[in-house]
Structure 1
Amino acid sequence: MSTPQDPGSTIFFTLSIDGEDLGAFNGCDGLAAEVEVEAYEEGGNNGFVWQLPSRVKHSTIRLTRPLTPDTAKVAAWISSVATGVVRPTAQISALRADGSLVARWGLLDVLPVRWQGPSLDPASPNVATEVLEITHHGFTDAGAA
């Protein structure tokens, strides 16, 4: 008899670019895809309108975390874009607190589009956080566990 798994109340995410680990993140938003549809009205067929797929759009993914030493790896990746655009593959893994894998997504042709560092205000008690936004050309089955 199998034991039911915790649905992941304490999940964190890891990001790797072409196998290089960029560290753990505690927030991940934007893992989504949308198929655009074109309506086609066929002559003589009044019962329905054909809905034909035209293209797949992928949203920008936002990863957030408290400031860590891995921030330097993210900064180096973003800086490398200035010397020539290379669009590597990436993997985002969702892990439980014990490190066991919940899910994994492979991403094609990844590019960093935005990084926001922390606001370093000594009067503010907030945790210093960073946000990394990446874009991609689609999912790949290479992310399968």
Structure 2
Amino acid sequence: MTLPYPGTSVHFQLQISGIDLGDFSTCSGLGAEVEVEQRAEGGNNSFVWQLPTRITYPNVTLSRGLTPDTAKVSRFLATLPTQVTRGSAQITALTPQLTAGPVLATWALREVIVVRWTGPSFDPSRSEVATESIELAHHGFL
């Protein structure tokens, strides 16, 4: 099925351990990197072995302007001091339609913990959207 629009201006839904934290306008940090150790071939000066050692995953950061969904994040953060546990997370990229449109992509993350939440800065001398962001550390994809 071909979509009538490219995957731009999407929004992202975030769920952690089945708890819906709402829609976010940006998502960055989805990725994986294989660290490689180099070993020179003995007696063959023109060849170096590239040996994979470990996979690392950068933190994922989602951001948005303040919305009523901010209360969902506040409730979720209120539980952290009593139960910091690793759970799974699901990030779903949706089309830019106002109604629930087709899903463009979904990423499931394993052993997720919230490592940072940044709230808005209020400065009456500047005309900017009040934003919040949430940063997640994880141990890979499901």
Match of 1:104 in 2: 106
Kindly indicate whether residue 52 of structure 2 is the aligned counterpart of residue 42 of structure 1: no
Separation in 1, partners of 2:6, 2:106? 15
Match of 2:133 in 1: 131
Structure-1-length-normalised TM-score: 0.87
Q: What's the CA shift for 1:115?
A: 0.9
Q: What's the CA shift for 1:33?
A: 0.7
Separation in 2, partners of 1:121, 1:106? 37
What amino acid sits opposite 1:79 in the alignment? A
Q: What's the CA shift for 1:66?
A: 0.6
Residue aligned with 1:110, SS: strand
Separation in 2, partners of 1:109, 1:5? 36
Q: What's the CA shift for 1:79?
A: 3.3
Separation in 1, partners of 2:2, 2:18? 32
What amino acid sits opposite 2:30 in the alignment? L
Instruction: Could you tell me which runs of 5 or more consecutive residues in structure 1 were left unpaired when the two chains were aligned.
Output: 141-145
What amino acid sits opposite 1:41 in the alignment? A
Of 111, 114, 117, the match for 2:116:
114
Instruction: Could you tell me which runs of 5 or more consecutive residues in structure 2 were left unpaired when the two chains were aligned.
Output: none
What amino acid sits opposite 1:115 in the alignment? W
88-97 or 46-55: bigger deviation: 46-55
Kindly indicate whether residue 50 of structure 2 is the aligned counterpart of residue 51 of structure 1: yes
Residue correspondence of structure 1 range 5-16 to structure 2 within 5 A = 5-16=4-15
Q: What's the CA shift for 1:5?
A: 4.4
Separation in 1, partners of 2:52, 2:2? 40
74-83 or 50-59: bigger deviation: 74-83
Percent of counterpart pairs with the same letter?
A: 52
Separation in 2, partners of 1:104, 1:125? 34
What amino acid sits opposite 1:131 in the alignment? S
Separation in 2, partners of 1:53, 1:5? 40
Residue correspondence of structure 1 range 43-82 to structure 2 within 5 A = 43-82=42-81
Query: What's the C-alpha RMSD, in Å, of the aligned pairs?
Result: 1.6
Residue correspondence of structure 1 range 16-31 to structure 2 within 5 A = 16-31=15-30
Q: What's the CA shift for 1:134?
A: 0.9
Structure-2-length-normalised TM-score: 0.89
